Amino acid sequence: MGMGNQELLQGLFEPETASSNPDDVQPIIKDAEPATPPAKPDVPKGVFTSDDGEDPQPISTAEEFLERFNEEKKKGAIETVNNFIGQFGEDYQEAFEAIFVKGVNPKEYFGTYNEIVSFAEMDLSDEGNQTKIIKQALADQGFDPEDIEQKLKDLKTMVTLNSSN
């Protein structure tokens, strides 16, 4: 029995292979629904976010899409880093922002941080500690070192004058 076997082909067309009378067969006619034009491709809502909670601006060019896509990548990276650093507490977030966002030298940041912590633990009844705090406060206000020294002399003079009364 090969591919062109007559007996096989003849068996397919014989009446015993049919299960009903050919005259009883009804044609299948289905009314087709009217064709609708394909929808215009659009950027789905929710793919891009907006800062103010409003719907994002529509994107009409490939350049706008690329720009928006890059903005979203940046937002996602910032959020991921903030979530990761945030698990360690506020001090870590402040250090990360100062060093990696604002570009502060880590040695300067941690040196200043340690000075602030040591200021908080200082004995303010000691005149030397009082002088350090005043110097730092004046420096933070933008005074030059010469001006700071002059202000300290003026303050010491005023304290001396007040105590002699």
35-44 pLDDT, tens digit each: 676 665 554 5
Q: Look at residue 89 and tell me if it is in a domain.
A: yes
Q: Is residue 32 part of a domain?
A: no
Asked if residue 70 is part of any domain, the answer here is yes
Residue 3 domain-assigned? no
Classify residue 123: in a domain, yes or no. no
d(CA 142, CA 74): 35
The 8-class DSSP code of residue 73 comes to H
| Domain housing 100 | 61-105
Asked if 68 and 48 touch (Cβ cutoff 8 Å), the reply is yes
Residue 23 binned pLDDT confidence (cut-offs 50, 70, 90): confident
pTM of the model as a whole: 0.38
Count of structural domains within the chain: 1
